[in-house]
Amino acid sequence: MLKIEHLSKQFGDLKALNDVTYNVKEGEIMGLIGQNGAGKSTTFHSILSFIHYDGEISWQDQPINEKVFNDIGYLPEERSLMPKMTVEQQILYLARLKGQSAKQIKPEIDRWMNRFEVKGRKTDKIKALSKGNQQKVQLICTLIHQPKLIILDEPFSGLDPVNVDILEQAILNAKHDGAAIIFSSHDMGNVEALCDELVMMRRGEVVLHGGIRDIRDEFGKDEVFVTTDWARTDLAALPHVIEVVERSRNRYLLRLDEPTAGKDIFQRLSHGEYIEEFSQQPPTLEEIFRLKAGDLK
């Protein structure tokens, strides 16, 4: 288990982290979200002992130092491959830094390249690959030694939807193998699809922490998605409807000031008959993020 306890970090007058506390268990994916400057990368740099900090960070109840670095896979936000190396040389070089021998890793390279659908050969130089394929190679370097703690800083940045799906599956496979995984992302869809737990940061502090569903449910089921031939003005006149958003032809989002009104609205719209869509939901993670990130008082 990764334990972060009362983590604080100050750069001059800037309080980058302020009393941050949470755990990441084995076989669990934690999403770390927040605006730029919220403290996400500073948290990662603290975990990896890149910077000095106040507080306690441990992995399997041991301080994180050179003795446990081989258990960690880290993908930085800024990519850092060596362009004149071949793909194979790059993977082997970084694997050796994690205590793996060429004999162990070499037979695995083709399998990992196929798994990530890298367009290129292992004998190609890094600089000959596209940016997307370079990113895939760095992901291979992060995961090929099968780390027990995986830290991914904006791993989906620059990937198209197909390659996002490939990475998501790799993250889920690592979870099923028992790794503790923490990653940051600005894409709430990735976070909601993958994460068991969520930490939302703002100005160096934790403002939300818990399970994805639990966090959404805290905000109440005040949104109704409905497909109907009712006119927008008639929908707006329904009791407790405070906003109507047209999503597509005959499909609307109704925002309520009282979630318990959903049952009455359903009865009014359906008259006890079949209705194509009526789904009452809490706000999305993206809506919650905008709400909390904008609440700076």
- Give the model's confidence band at 297: pLDDT under 50 very low, under 70 low, under 90 confident, else very high: very low
Q: Average the pLDDT over 180-207 and give the result.
A: 92
Say whether both 50 and 169 belong to one domain: yes
Say whether both 93 and 139 belong to one domain: yes
Does 261 reside within a domain? yes
pLDDT of residue 186: 86
Does 32 reside within a domain? yes
pLDDT of residue 292: 81
Say whether both 20 and 157 belong to one domain: yes
pLDDT digits (tens, 9 = 90+) for 53-97: 999 999 999 998 887 888 999 999 887 899 999 999 999 999 998
DSSP 228: -
- Classify each residue of 36-45 as buried b or exposed e, where b means 16 or more C-beta atoms within 10 Å of its C-beta: eebbbbbbbb
- Give the model's confidence band at 132: pLDDT under 50 very low, under 70 low, under 90 confident, else very high: confident
- Give the model's confidence band at 293: pLDDT under 50 very low, under 70 low, under 90 confident, else very high: confident
Token pair of 219, please? 């905000």
Q: Give the predicted TM-score (pTM) of the model.
A: 0.85
Residue range of the domain that includes 225: 221-281
Say whether both 225 and 211 belong to one domain: no
Say whether both 186 and 234 belong to one domain: no
Say whether both 69 and 152 belong to one domain: yes
Domain count of the chain?
Answer: 2
CA distance 137 to 255: 45
Say whether both 95 and 201 belong to one domain: yes
Question: Which residues are bridge partners to 252 per DSSP?
Answer: 226, 246
Question: Which residues are bridge partners to 151 per DSSP?
Answer: 74, 182
Say how many C-beta atoms besides its own lie within 10 A of residue 290's C-beta.
Answer: 13
Q: Average the pLDDT over 34-51 and give the result.
A: 93
Tell me the percentage of the chain whose pLDDT exceeds 90.
Answer: 76
Domain boundary among 216, 249, 271: 216
Does 39 reside within a domain? yes
Domain boundary among 164, 195, 216: 216
Packing angle, helices 131-143 and 87-97, rounded to 10: 30
Residue 294 pLDDT > 70, yes or no? Answer: no
Say how many C-beta atoms besides its own lie within 10 A of residue 125's C-beta.
Answer: 15
pLDDT digits (tens, 9 = 90+) for 133-165: 998 999 999 999 999 999 999 988 878 888 889
Say whether both 98 and 31 belong to one domain: yes
Say whether both 160 and 258 belong to one domain: no
**CATH code at 249?**
3.30.70
- Please give the sequence-ordered ranges of beta strands (E in DSSP) within 100-234, or none if there are none: 149-153, 180-184, 197-202, 205-211, 223-227
Say whether both 167 and 254 belong to one domain: no
**CATH code at 159?**
3.40.50.300
Q: Average the pLDDT over 204-233 and give the result.
A: 93
pLDDT digits (tens, 9 = 90+) for 167-192: 899 999 999 999 999 999 888 888 98
Q: Average the pLDDT over 260-273 and give the result.
A: 93
Please tell me whether residue 135 adopts helix, strand or coil conformation.
helix
Q: Using an 8 Å Cβ cutoff, are 274 and 266 in contact?
A: no
Does 26 reside within a domain? yes
Does 295 reside within a domain? no
Please report, for residues 67, 169, 262, the alpha-carbon distance to residue 280 in angstroms, rounded to integers and kept in the order given. 50, 29, 7
Q: Using an 8 Å Cβ cutoff, are 276 and 239 in contact?
A: no
Say whether both 141 and 179 belong to one domain: yes
CA distance 282 to 294: 19
Q: What is the mean pLDDT of the chain?
A: 92
Does 81 reside within a domain? yes
pLDDT of residue 68: 87
Q: Average the pLDDT over 273-292 and give the result.
A: 90
pLDDT of residue 290: 84
pLDDT of residue 295: 56
Say whether both 149 and 164 belong to one domain: yes
- DSSP string computed for 29-92: EEEEE-STTSSHHHHHHHHTTSS--EEEEEETTEE-STTTGGGEEEE-SS----TTSBHHHHHH
Nearest to 186 by CA among 10, 37, 22, 9: 37
Does 173 reside within a domain? yes
Does 286 reside within a domain? no
Nearest to 47 by CA among 183, 206, 177: 183
pLDDT digits (tens, 9 = 90+) for 96-119: 989 899 999 999 999 999 999 999
